[in-house]
Amino acid sequence: MTAAERPSQPVYRTVANKLRSDIAAGTYKNGVRLPTESELASEFGASRQTIRRAFHDLVSEGIVHRVPGRGTFATEHNSRYLRQLGSIEDLMNLSTDTTMDIVSPLRRQVNIEAASRLRLDTDVVYGVTFRRVHDSVPFVHTRVFLPEAVARHVLDSPELMEGASSTSTLIGLLEPHLDAPIARADQSITVAPATAEVAEVVNCDTGHAMLRVDRLYSNDRDELCELALSYFLPEHYTYRITLRR
Amino acid sequence: MTAAERPSQPVYRTVANKLRSDIAAGTYKNGVRLPTESELASEFGASRQTIRRAFHDLVSEGIVHRVPGRGTFATEHNSRYLRQLGSIEDLMNLSTDTTMDIVSPLRRQVNIEAASRLRLDTDVVYGVTFRRVHDSVPFVHTRVFLPEAVARHVLDSPELMEGASSTSTLIGLLEPHLDAPIARADQSITVAPATAEVAEVVNCDTGHAMLRVDRLYSNDRDELCELALSYFLPEHYTYRITLRR
DNA sequence: CGTTATTTGTGCGTATGTATT
DNA sequence: AAATACATACGCACAAATAAC
């Protein structure tokens, strides 16, 4: 419905983006103070409240910290605590030495829960199920759900057809077709018993305790693009993360 | 204005805490809409802006999402205790609303495996065992091992004595005393059955499938400083991470 | 040592726009 | 078409922490 002709974005987002890229460019390294709220308000012709809104986002992203009376500073991950190393690229590179075998091809279906988690206003989603194999050992069962608007770009991909086997990742297949790039992935990791289907696909007992990883990908407009529900065999997979300063 | 109220906190935080705990209690499960901004403003005698500030925090924590014209909804995450342990603020904030109960105080012991993982040239390590409690529910059992050189800085800490209970984190206790700052933590996450001791401490059955998180901290000289082995109850805890580009 | 200016934090009020019902 | 509910944006006042004088 909405045409792509929407270059306009909130002022606070413009401000936040500018500051983010300046920070990334190293403009405020080594404890250099960022501009004050008043300065930015003048510079952008916005109110102090609007600038605060931008800073609030940057703070919750953990890239700046603020001290009353002193100012705002880019967070130096080198001084105190740790920062996470994992990135979305790491998730994409998962494919290099593993194979994706399609268990059930990409097709339209009704799934209220998946639709709700993707925050769709219909119950219709597109789903595909596959497993990943490493050294001929299947170690993970994944179900991916996509909104219709996203799925239509990959409906004809041979990698997602019945019985296909490739070294792709779904997000890697999708990325080139999306008008806005994937910007974040929210993951939650817990333990869940293998369902009968999962058990059959990864060759374990039903009810076996699995490492369950839910991933929700979104683009830089905060639109949800993909929901991936994975069951990893803990005997063959350990989730590793390095937090660095 | 109120001079007598020392532990006073901002209204928006009070509102956010109330909503967080209601959400955790399942009050807004299954798509039940949260109160509107106006309703909460009346209920708390605050302005709509203050309520919005609270909601903004909840949104950036990922526990609610908002839809213009429809309302605010709890993000479906099985109402587990959700904590984001990818960034450092999250690691520190862990202490704000959870309690650390010492199960076994910090003391010298011989543990070949721990010593080996810390790459010590002796078998002597210092170990402490504790659990963490949230809303009177124990949700994790942790054993921490330290090299002697590190442990001596906190041997006399009251927080690590027999029967102590505090809101500290061990890394928070250690940090000020170390001559070289913690530079990285390598984590691995998998599934493991509860041992008898773990089961008793977190009140579950022996053999219950737990989320096991091993963390190995090191400083910028690549010296290993702390080994933490945690068993999380998956019913009450989900490990959350956000990956960004 | 206070005093003052600066800077962020909290909280209120208003107005207007947009999406949903 | 109207009412509801959230989004953006402006304004103001005062508090609290910091730094410089």
B88: chain A residues, CB-CB within 8 Å: 62, 80-83, 243
SS3 string of B120-142?
CCCCEEEEEEEEEEECCEEEEEE
What's the pLDDT at A81?
40
What's the pLDDT at B92?
47
Say yes or no for a CB contact (<8 Å) between B190 and A211.
yes
Other residues' Cβ atoms within 10 Å of the Cβ of residue B123: 13
What's the pLDDT at A224?
87
| Identity of the highest mean pLDDT range in A77-81, A105-109, B29-33 | A105-109
**Chunked mean pLDDT (size 10), chain B, 245 residues:** 51 90 84 91 93 92 87 75 51 64 96 91 94 88 94 91 87 78 80 97 96 87 88 87 74
Per-residue pLDDT tens over the stretch A215-239: 989 887 778 899 999 999 998 888 8
DSSP 3-state of A13: helix
Question: How does residue A78 score in pLDDT terms, banded at 50, 70 and 90?
Answer: very low
Tell whether B59 lies on the interface with A, counting CB pairs under 8 A: no
For A210, counting Cβ atoms within 10 Å of its Cβ (0-12 exposed, 13-18 middle, 19+ buried), the class is buried
Asked if residue A181 lies in contact with residue B245, where contact means CB atoms within 8 angstroms, the answer is: yes
Give the closest of B182, B211, B243 to A190, CB-based: B211
Question: Residues 8 to 47 of B: which have CB under 8 A from any A CB?
Answer: 31
Give the closest of B67, B87, B190 to A84, CB-based: B87
Q: Is any atom of strand C within 7 angstroms of residue A118's beta carbon?
A: no
Tell whether B209 lies on the interface with A, counting CB pairs under 8 A: yes
Say yes or no for a CB contact (<8 Å) between B183 and A244.
yes
Q: Is any atom of strand C within 7 angstroms of residue A38's beta carbon?
A: yes
What's the pLDDT at B9?
82
Asked if residue A51 lies in contact with residue A45, where contact means CB atoms within 8 angstroms, the answer is: no
Instruction: Please name the residue of chain B whose CA is at the shortest distance from the CA of residue A61.
Output: B60
Greater confidence, A97 or A145?
A145
Distance A180 CA to C18 C1' (A): 22
Greater confidence, A91 or A149?
A149
Give the closest of A113, A240, A243 to B188, CB-based: A240
What's the pLDDT at A15?
94
For A37, counting Cβ atoms within 10 Å of its Cβ (0-12 exposed, 13-18 middle, 19+ buried), the class is buried
